[in-house]
Structure 1
Amino acid sequence: MNEYRNRTALVTGASKGLGTALARDLASRGSHLVLVARSASRLEHLADELRAQYGVQVNPISADLGSDEGVQTVLAATAALPAIDLLVNNAGLGGVGSFVDRPLDEAIAPIAVNVIGLVRLTHAVAGRMANDGRGGIINIGSTGAFQPMPFQNVYSSTKAFVLMFTEALAEELRARGVRVMIASPGPTATEFFADSEVDPAVRSLDSADTVARDILDDFAAGRTASYPGRRSNRPQTWAARILPRTAVTRITGDLARKNGFDV
């Protein structure tokens, strides 16, 4: 699974942000696409664009991966395909702010999509790949997975799960012909903060196009871990491995307050 041309890639969360960038980059490399997101209109528009520009096959599927019904919709729609060569679990939800001052639903939704939906879809697709003895999976994590993050506690916790789950799954499937990679981008210029009161400076964010390119280049190079974007992203994850966890938590909490995340 080192080549992209004439392979079929399933990309979740494809209607915006990093998902759209990944879909465009994959199409430019000659991949046929299955695009999944909740917004049918955005998906159709993107599918038309990619078909016209790159001449690839694109199958848009509107589904909410936060529910079992949504996952089953995706599986039913892809059952007739010969194979899914690459699964890119990009769909994700997050939020910024005080845990106790926000509605409970805002805490539950990221768990449903980032953890439960990802596990459901991966279990089904990875099972087919393992039986065929080939395929690849890229799970989109975050540099936020490496330490507790006050005021983003649920989001960072779900990404910590994705990190550990992916690393363990990579070892399980290594001997069965399926490659699995965790991608841990830093803050990226997407719509992540669109629904919050936080407006981070653009200069502090990596571009989605750059992050997507780095992720796909790393996977093609055979890596099991990718730190896309600026070179400082990976070193930023080392503090939690060196300093006491309480110190790291207080530091990240102070930074969150400084950036206005304690809304």
Structure 2
Amino acid sequence: MNSSKGTTLITGASSGIGAVYADRLAARGHHLILVARRRDRLEEQAARLHTAYGSKVEIFPADLAKEEDLGRVEALFTSTRDIDMLVNSAGLGALGPGAAVDLKMVDGLVRVNVLALTRLSLVAARVFAQRKQGTIINIGSILALMPVSGASSYSASKAYVLNFSRSLQAELGQSGVTVQAVMPSMVHSEFFGDQPAPFPEQLFMSAETLVDTALSALDQGELITFPTLHDVTQWQEFDNARILLVKSLTQGGQPAARYNQSNA
């Protein structure tokens, strides 16, 4: 039996990336609170993890798109449970052309990918900052940097995850709280449902490889993690270009000369 390294709350824990985080963190000695919609899968997951690793595993069936359920999950951070890590893995796709996609699917995406992730991160941040320790892991996507046709809402939600996580990193950097944004490429999961994935097989990574890579990055103190990026200087150059652009945008309040009507 492993000695406990604290308790981790994982959303989207019944399958895919979230389920692998549950397995890997249980193996590292974490107790777990598993949040997802499907009780039967959570029960199976909890039994397996307890048998395999001796971890204490609590299941918490909840639909994060529903205000009442989200509120109940938020309350876990201020109850008697000693949560010191949050993994925001739950996510929805709502893929399809923006002019045709089901608006209810988009509403659910925003509620889960943006609102739930934000509220859980903020309540965790407040609790962790008071203790001066804790870890928040937010699952983003490389589509945060790639606005593409057919994934407008999803891409935008993951751009939000990246910027939100970076802002939290800046705010919490001196408080002992770690915030990591994991930005995977294509991952084998249930994301596409029964539909064939619209990408070549060689672009996909297994959820196991993704989580192992992300946890290795976390161990090394890497807070923005692109698991498939082999040359990290490319991200550094990208970010340096962003910083230069921001400097150019903040030199003053006057419009650029090209917008001067008198020059037309």
Number of the residue aligned with 1:36: 35
Deviation at 1:37, TM superposition (A): 0.6
CA gap of 1:82–1:175, structure 2 versus 1, over 3 A, is same
SS at match of 1:231: coil
Overall identity of the aligned pairs, in %: 36
Number of the residue aligned with 2:165: 166
For residues 133-212 of structure 1, what are the structure 2 equivalents within 5 Å? 133-196=132-195, 198=197, 200-212=199-211
Deviation at 1:67, TM superposition (A): 2.3
Checking the alignment, whether the CA contact within 8 Å between 2:186 and 2:205 is kept in structure 1 is: yes
For CA contacts below 8 A with separation 6 or more, give which structure has more relative contact order.
1
SS at match of 2:83: coil
Gaps of 5+ in 2: 242-264
CA gap of 1:156–1:241, structure 2 versus 1, over 3 A, is farther
Checking the alignment, whether the CA contact within 8 Å between 1:147 and 1:240 is kept in structure 2 is: no
Scaled by the length of structure 1, what TM-score is found?
A: 0.83
Scaled by the length of structure 2, what TM-score is found?
A: 0.83
For residues 45-64 of structure 1, what are the structure 2 equivalents within 5 Å? 45-64=44-63
Gaps of 5+ in 1: 243-263
CA gap of 1:239–1:135, structure 2 versus 1, over 3 A, is closer
When structure 1 is superposed on structure 2, of 156-165 and 198-207 the one drifting more is 198-207
Number of the residue aligned with 2:6: 7
Which whole-Å CA distance do the structure 2 matches of 1:202 and 1:233 have between them?
24
CA gap of 1:234–1:201, structure 2 versus 1, over 3 A, is farther
- Deviation readout 1:24-48 (Å, 9 max, x if unpaired): 1111111111111111111111010
Checking the alignment, whether the CA contact within 8 Å between 1:186 and 1:233 is kept in structure 2 is: no
Checking the alignment, whether the CA contact within 8 Å between 2:132 and 2:176 is kept in structure 1 is: yes
Number of the residue aligned with 1:221: 220
Give aligned pairs, total: 239
Residue type at the aligned position of 1:164: N
CA gap of 1:237–1:38, structure 2 versus 1, over 3 A, is farther
For residues 14-163 of structure 1, what are the structure 2 equivalents within 5 Å? 14-77=13-76, 79-163=78-162
- Deviation readout 1:109-149 (Å, 9 max, x if unpaired): 11110001111111212111111111111111001101211
Aligned CA RMSD, in angstroms, stands at 2.4
Larger Rg: 2
